[in-house]
Amino acid sequence: MKIATSSATFAREIAAGDLTQLDWLDACANELEVDGVVFDVAHFPRLDGEYVAQLKKVVCDLGLSIAAVDARATPDEPAFALAVDLGAPLVVARAPASSDDARAWGTFADQTKAATSHAKRLNVTLAIRNVPGTLCPDVADLRRLAKDVDSAWLRFALDAGSPFEASDDRSLAKTSIAFVPMPDLGAFAEANDAVARDAIERLARFRGFVVLEGAAATAQSHAYHAAVRRFTTIRTNALESSAFV
C-alpha cells in the first residue's frame, strides 16, 4: 500500500490563492510525507505544454509518483490527454447522477465502453469511482459496470468507506486506486475512528495507492500529516495481527 493525497483536499487554499499546485507538491513531499499525488483537473491554472512539463519534472525531483488524474465527472478526452502529458497511469472518473430513466445505465455503459477504447489507444487506464448519488453508488454497481463493459482498461477507484468485505477478492483485484474519505482529519488523528480503521483494515492486502481524502473545509497540513502517521500505524497493526498473517 502506498499513500497519496489529492489536490481536492486542499481545494479551499488553492481557490483562495494561498496555495499553488507547485506549493502543494512541495508540501506533499516535505510536510505530508506521502508517496504520491492525484491531480484534480479543477486545479490547473493553465494547461500549456510548458507548465504541464514543469509539474511532471517537479514531481520527479521531489521523489513523488503521480497516482492519477481525477476528471471529477464522467471521463472525457481532455482528462486522458492531460494524463498522457503528465505520465499518469490512471484517469479517475465518476458515473453520472442517479436517474429514474431506464435508459440511463445503458447510456453510461456505452459511454464507458467508448472511453475504455480511447484509454487503450493512449495506454492510460480508466478507473471509475463509486460515489453516493451517482449511477455507481456502491461496489456492486462497479462490478455490474465491469461486466457490461468487459474491458481490461476499466478498473475501480474504490471508496473504502463503502460496504465491502476484506475477503472480497473480486473487487480488490479490479481496484487500481482506493479512497478513504475523512470528513475531519484532526479527529481521525486524535481519536479512535472506527469507520476509518475498518476501511484501512479492509485494504490491508491492497498494493496500490490509497488516497487519504480530507474535507477541503477542514484540511490543514499539520492535521493531514498527523492523519498519515496514524493511518500508517493502524495499517501496520492490521498487518501484524493474526487476521492478516
- Residue 75's pLDDT is 82
Which comes out higher in pLDDT, residue 92 or 242?
A: 92
pLDDT above 90 coverage of the chain, percent? 60
Architecture of domain 2-244: Alpha-Beta Barrel (3.20)
In this structure, is the dihedral angle defined by the CA atoms of residues 179, 16, 66 and 33, taken in order, positive or negative? negative
* Segments in the chain forming alpha helices (H): 11-16, 21-27, 49-61, 77-86, 104-122, 139-149, 169-173, 185-190, 194-202, 221-240
Max avg pLDDT among 9-13, 14-18, 116-120, 235-239: 116-120
Spatial CB neighbours of 120, under 8 Å, sequence gap ≥ 6: 151, 153
In Å, how far from its chain's centre is CA 94?
11
**pLDDT digits over 186-239, tens only?**
777 665 666 667 777 778 778 899 998 877 655 577 788 888 888 877 777 767
pTM value?
0.89
**Structural domain boundaries in the chain:** 2-244
- Residue 32's pLDDT is 87
* Segments in 123-211 forming alpha helices (H): 139-149, 169-173, 185-190, 194-202
Amino acid at 9: T
Res. 242: pLDDT tops 50? no
Res. 40: pLDDT tops 60? yes
- Residue 244's pLDDT is 44
In this structure, is the dihedral angle defined by the CA atoms of residues 190, 237, 2 and 120, taken in order, positive or negative? negative
Spatial CB neighbours of 155, under 8 Å, sequence gap ≥ 6: 90, 125, 126, 127, 128, 174, 175, 176, 177
Confidence class of residue 103 from pLDDT cuts 50, 70 and 90?
A: very high
Alpha carbons 145 and 164: distance in angstroms, whole number: 17
Res. 146: pLDDT tops 90? yes
- Residue 163's pLDDT is 65
In this structure, is the dihedral angle defined by the CA atoms of residues 69, 65, 195 and 200, taken in order, positive or negative? positive
- Residue 216's pLDDT is 62
Nearest C-alpha neighbor of 91 from the set 48, 131, 39: 39
Res. 137: pLDDT tops 80? yes
Instruction: State the chain's mean pLDDT as an integer.
Output: 87
Count of C-beta atoms within a 10 Å radius of residue 152: 10
Q: Please work out, in degrees rounded to the nearest 5, the angle formed at the alpha carbon of residue 228 by the alpha carbons of 162 and 226.
A: 120
Confidence class of residue 143 from pLDDT cuts 50, 70 and 90?
A: very high
